[in-house]
Structures are given as C-alpha cells and as structure tokens.
Amino acid sequence: MAGTTSVASGSASPITVQDLRDAPVDSILRAAEEAHASGEQLGEHGHKIHDLTTWSDEWSGDAATIACYRLRASGQNMYVIGKTTSASSTVVSSFGRTIGSLASTVRGPASFVERMGYSISPNGDITGGKAVAPGWLLPIEVVLRAAVMAARAAERLASSAMSSLLESLSGQANAPELEGQQRQAAQPGAELLLPSQVPVRVEERGEGPVIYAGDVESASEIITLVSGVGSDKESSYQSNAAWARQQVALAAARGESLAVVAWHDYDAPEGLKVGASGQRARGGADRLREFQSDLRQSNPDARLHAVGHSYGTVVIGQAARRGLEADRVTSWGSPGMGVSKRSQLHLSQGTDAGARAGDHVRQSENFEAPGEIVTEMIAGDPIAYAIGVHGPDPALLGKGPGWGTLLWRGLMDGLVMRKGAEAHSYYRWDPAVTERLAMSGRG
C-alpha cells in the first residue's frame, strides 16, 4: 500500500431524471461482480502465504524469521487489499441496485408525462408543454423528484463509503506530499553494493550501542532508527545492524546516498509493563536530542529522518517535545508519542529547508514545527489496542483519517489479528513499508 490518498467527493454534476432512466444498471452490477471475484482471489492468495511460510521444521533462526516476516507482510498486504476490494464491490453493488430500483420507479411515469406533452426538468419538476401541468400530475412529480433526491443521496453515501475504502488502502497517514510518488527501481548499470559490503561501525555508549551503517559524514539522508520494548539485547542489535546495512544497499541501488543509524543509547523497556510508563522514554529523550544535534553538526546538508518503532516512537516524541533535529519523523506501530497534540512536537529542519546553516544547535524555544510526521500502522498490529497509553494515535495528531476509514481499519485489524500478533514485528521487513520510507526521503 502506498502513500496517503486524497479523494474527490461529490459528483461532477448531480443525477437527473434522464440519468436515472438511462442508468447502466447491468454494467454497474457486472463491474461489482468482477471486482468482488478479483478481491476474493487476492484475499485468498494473501491468506495462504501464512501457511507457506510456516517452515520452522525445515529452517529456523533469525534469517528464517525475517524471511517469514517479509513474505507474510506482502501476503498480508495482499489479503487486506483483497478484502477492501470485496468491500468496495459491495458498495458498487448496493449503489447499482439502488439506482436500478429508482430507475424502475421513474421510467414509466416519466414516459407517461412526456406522452402527455409535458417536459421533465433534471430535478423532476414537470414543466412546459402545451399548457400548465394539471394538478393530477402532481403525485407523479412528487415521485420523480423524490427518486432524483434519493439517487443523489445514494451517490453521496456510496461516494463517502468509497472514499473511506480508498483512504484505507494506505497504511500511512499525514504525508500528503507522498501522493503520486512512484517506486524507484534500481538504477540500471549502478554497481551493486551488497549489505555485507556496507561498512558498519559500532560505538558503545552509556545505555547501549549506536550502530552506524554507511557514511554519515557524506550521506544526503541519515535515518536514525529508535527501537522499542525488548530491543536492549544482542539479537536486536544484530538484526537492526543487518536492517541498516540492507537499507543503505537498497538506497545505493537506487542511486541514493543513505546512512542508517540504529540508536540504542537508552534503557529500552524489557517488557510491556515497564513499557506502559513513559519514564524510560523521558530518560532517553535528552540523549537522542543530543545525538541528533551532533549528527546535524557533522553533516549539515543531510536530511535527518528519525524513525521510531513501537516504544521508540515514545522516545522520539519525548525528545521532540523539547526540540529534535529531524526533517521528518516516521512512526511505526506507535502506542502514542507522549504528546496530546501535534504542536507539542518540535522538529527542526536542515539547510535545505531554508537559510538555517550554522544554526543547528538551538534552544528548544526556537524550534518550530516545520518537520513532517508520517505514521504507519500495519493491519493487525495489536499495538492499536495500546493507543492511548502514551497519548493519542499519532495519525490523529495531524490531518487524521475519517471515521469510515478508522472503522474499516479496525475491522481489518480484527480479521488479520486472528492469525496472531506478529504484525507488530513486520515494519522493518515489509518491503512496502521500507519502500515508503525511501520515498519519503525523496519528498
């Protein structure tokens, strides 16, 4: 699923009596059937990926787990699109049946009125003709007008439902500028850099290591990844290091210069109970602010992108309360960012945002909120049930999705979660999510 959608609303022109009489009802219903069939097929294909990747008997370990996450994430995305498409076909079908019923209602009376030598306005008024319309035509006029009004209401309702489903196709919010961006394929002829060839440097700090992949001094974009609960262990450091190297290699294949930092210099909660408190996040926030300021100083031209996963978004939120050097913040599976409104997050953009060179380390009161916040919530991520523990859903801090979209996403969560709670672990390895991360860097 790609960037946030913006949708049109309403009709180019309202439905008229003549439109109803000529309505292509059969074609609409046939389109609904075809869309339903395709949606169901996509859903089934997505569904079976889960079984095909249950391979612990044949293969186990971190690589097996990550391969599984990567494949299941794509399968799940396909499943959600399939189910959403099926729902859209129901909207089309309902609209078609309603229009069909109204068309049947108006065709006979409208023909009769015309045979009597009168005209019918687009709104259903009986006008003109040889004489003033007699009073006995009034009931027919009422029927025609009511049918047109009902058809217009049906179109508004169907459009509203379709807008919500269209918006639901996106797993991302608050990044309207991403709309229309296309995936960037590997540059032909570019020398392939493999993750194992990406230089890695590990710096031990007070609370944990900071792992650098790529050249932070020269990169045009630097991603700082802040992980969440349970990330304070060796296996997490290793998988984040592999992820960081992979992102640098993928960016190089696209002809982009990226460095990735897995920042573990905070006392990450070891379990959900500790994670329910913001204390650890507050404890790490100043160190993250200092780290980002140092990054800005060491490479003033780079675009800084802070990416938080789960509790890591709380750390970023707490840091941004007092001003964080970041051109963009991306939150993955956030339980809230420790703020109640967008204006409490103060991000500072780099040199490409204006004449700010040399002024990167500044007092918190000088931070404005020009940076961008992108939120991602994968369908079936159980963290959705923890939203509120650390403040509202970050997606609602800006221009949030409508109620219809939220309702549909909630339904999808329920459907997907029946397979388990592992969707919370997909973000780093979901090709669609990381592709959007890359696209956001081109914004």
Partner 1 sequence: MNAATIAITADTLRLLAGDGVLTLSADQIRQRVGRLESTETEAGDASARLQSVIVPPVGSASGFSSLAGEFIERASSFANEHARDLGDSARAVEVFCDRVEESDHL
Residues between 1 and 40 with contacts to partner 1, criterion CB under 8 A: 1-2, 5, 7-16, 18-20, 22-24, 27-28, 31-32, 34-35, 37-39
Q: Answer for the pair 92, 116: CB distance below 8 angstroms, yes or no.
A: no
The single residue among 130, 135, 185, 234 that binds partner 1, judged by CB under 8 A, is 185
* Residue 303 CB, nearest approach to partner 1 (Å): 22
For the record, the structure tokens of 78 come out as: 């396909």
Task: Please give the Cα distance from 367 to 237 (Å, whole number).
Answer: 32
- What region, left, alpha or beta, does residue 59 occupy, with left being phi > 0 and alpha being psi -120 to 50 degrees? beta
Q: Answer for the pair 145, 78: CB distance below 8 angstroms, yes or no.
A: no
Decide if residue 92 touches partner 1 (CB under 8 A): yes
In terms of C-beta density within 10 A (0-12 exposed, 13-18 middle, 19 or more buried), how is residue 152 classed?
middle
Largest CA distance in the chain: 94
Q: Which is nearer to partner 1, 43 or 371 (CB)?
A: 43
**Interface pattern 124-163 for partner 1 (x via CB under 8 A):** ---------------------------xx--x--xx--xx
* Residue 382 CB, nearest approach to partner 1 (Å): 22
Q: Which is nearer to partner 1, 7 or 353 (CB)?
A: 7
Q: Which is nearer to partner 1, 329 or 432 (CB)?
A: 432
Q: From residue 132, how far is each of 118, 137, 204 by CA, in Å?
A: 9, 10, 92
Task: Please give the Cα distance from 12 to 218 (Å, whole number).
Answer: 50
The single residue among 77, 330, 375, 440 that binds partner 1, judged by CB under 8 A, is 77
Sign of the alpha-carbon torsion through 20, 8, 430, 442: positive
Decide if residue 239 touches partner 1 (CB under 8 A): yes
Q: Which is nearer to partner 1, 245 or 296 (CB)?
A: 245
Decide if residue 440 touches partner 1 (CB under 8 A): no
The single residue among 113, 126, 140, 169 that binds partner 1, judged by CB under 8 A, is 169
Q: Which residues, listed in sequence order, are joined to residue 223 by a DSSP beta bridge?
A: 260, 305
Task: Please give the Cα distance from 312 to 227 (Å, whole number).
Answer: 5
Residues 57-76 that bind partner 1 (CB under 8 A): 57-64, 66-67, 70-71, 74-75
* Residue 159 CB, nearest approach to partner 1 (Å): 5
Q: Which is nearer to partner 1, 95 or 266 (CB)?
A: 95
* Residue 59 CB, nearest approach to partner 1 (Å): 5
Decide if residue 85 touches partner 1 (CB under 8 A): yes
Total interface residues for partner 1 by CB under 8 A: 92
Decide if residue 195 touches partner 1 (CB under 8 A): yes
Decide if residue 111 touches partner 1 (CB under 8 A): no
Task: Please give the Cα distance from 54 to 362 (Å, whole number).
Answer: 51
* Residue 317 CB, nearest approach to partner 1 (Å): 29
Residues 262-321 that bind partner 1 (CB under 8 A): none
Q: Which is nearer to partner 1, 75 or 269 (CB)?
A: 75
The single residue among 132, 138, 142, 190 that binds partner 1, judged by CB under 8 A, is 190
Decide if residue 373 touches partner 1 (CB under 8 A): no
Q: Which is nearer to partner 1, 81 or 285 (CB)?
A: 81
Task: Please give the Cα distance from 275 to 280 (Å, whole number).
Answer: 8
Decide if residue 394 touches partner 1 (CB under 8 A): no
Residues 324-343 that bind partner 1 (CB under 8 A): none
Task: Please give the Cα distance from 338 to 402 (Å, whole number).
Answer: 22
The single residue among 53, 121, 181, 220 that binds partner 1, judged by CB under 8 A, is 53
Residues 403-422 that bind partner 1 (CB under 8 A): none
Q: Which is nearer to partner 1, 326 or 374 (CB)?
A: 374
Decide if residue 189 touches partner 1 (CB under 8 A): no
